[in-house]
Structures are given as C-alpha cells and as structure tokens.
Amino acid sequence: MGRILIVDDTLFMRTLLKNILSAGGHEIVGEAEDGDIGVNKYRDLKPDLVTMDVVMPKMNGIEALKAIKTLDTNAKVIMCTAVGQEQMVKLAIKSGARGYIVKPFQAPKVLEEIANVLGAS
C-alpha cells in the first residue's frame, strides 16, 4: 500500500478520492487544492504517489507534474481528468505521468490504476 498525496481544487473530489484510497488500504499523507501547493507538499512529504487533477487554478496539473518531475525524476503521478480531456492526458503522459483516472471516479478502476503504478518501478 502507498503513501499518497491528493491534489485537486475541489474538496468534494479530494474527499471522494481519500475515501476510495483509504478503504483500499492506502495512507493519505496530504492534500492540496492547487498545483503550486501540491508541488510544495510533494517536496515536504515525499509521497509514494500523487493523484493530480488536470484543471486547477494558479498552477494546473500539467505544470505541477513537470515541476514535481524536476524535483524527482522517479515521481509517480496519476492524472485525474474528466471525460473529453484526451489531449490533456496525452500531454500529461508525455510530461511524465504514469497513468490516469477518469472522473466520475469508480473505486475499482481507481484502486487498479494506483496498484499498477505503485507496482511499476
């Protein structure tokens, strides 16, 4: 099981993910409501994995992903995206994201993607 940082500008989405991940046996080490705070928390908390919303104020998920990968080239980041944001997902994968989950979240798919990424080296 992993130590996970959740980055999403919507409290409801952070809470939903926290509930799914906690029920799956993961430890939520932190939450952030924008990419800038997420990067700082990554630096401080050094989580095993980050779930990162794509669309956020101040610093979006792609920019935050790039900043985290600059801090740690081995960072494991999964992007959270809405249906219809395929181009953003492609850009995120090119920028170093290890995977993605689609909103609305379905617990089995979220846990499967987290397990796949945590299991990969």
User: In this structure, are residues 91 and 55 in contact, taking their beta carbons and an 8 Å threshold?
Assistant: no
- Superfamily (CATH H level) for 3-116: Response regulator (3.40.50.2300)
**Cis peptide leading into 57, omega within 30 of 0?**
no
Q: How many CB atoms lie within 10 A of CB 10?
A: 14
In this structure, what DSSP letter does residue 105 have? P
Domain boundaries defined on the chain? 3-116
Q: Model-level pTM?
A: 0.95
Tabulate helix, strand, coil % of the chain (nearest 5). 45, 20, 30
Amino acid at 16: L
Which residues in the chain belong to E strands, given as ranges? 3-7, 27-32, 49-53, 77-82, 99-103
What pLDDT tens digit does each residue of the chain (121 aa) get?
A: 899 999 999 999 999 999 999 999 999 999 999 999 999 999 999 999 999 999 998 999 999 999 999 999 999 999 998 877 788 889 999 999 999 999 889 999 999 999 999 996 5
CA atoms of 83 and 105, how far apart (whole Å): 11
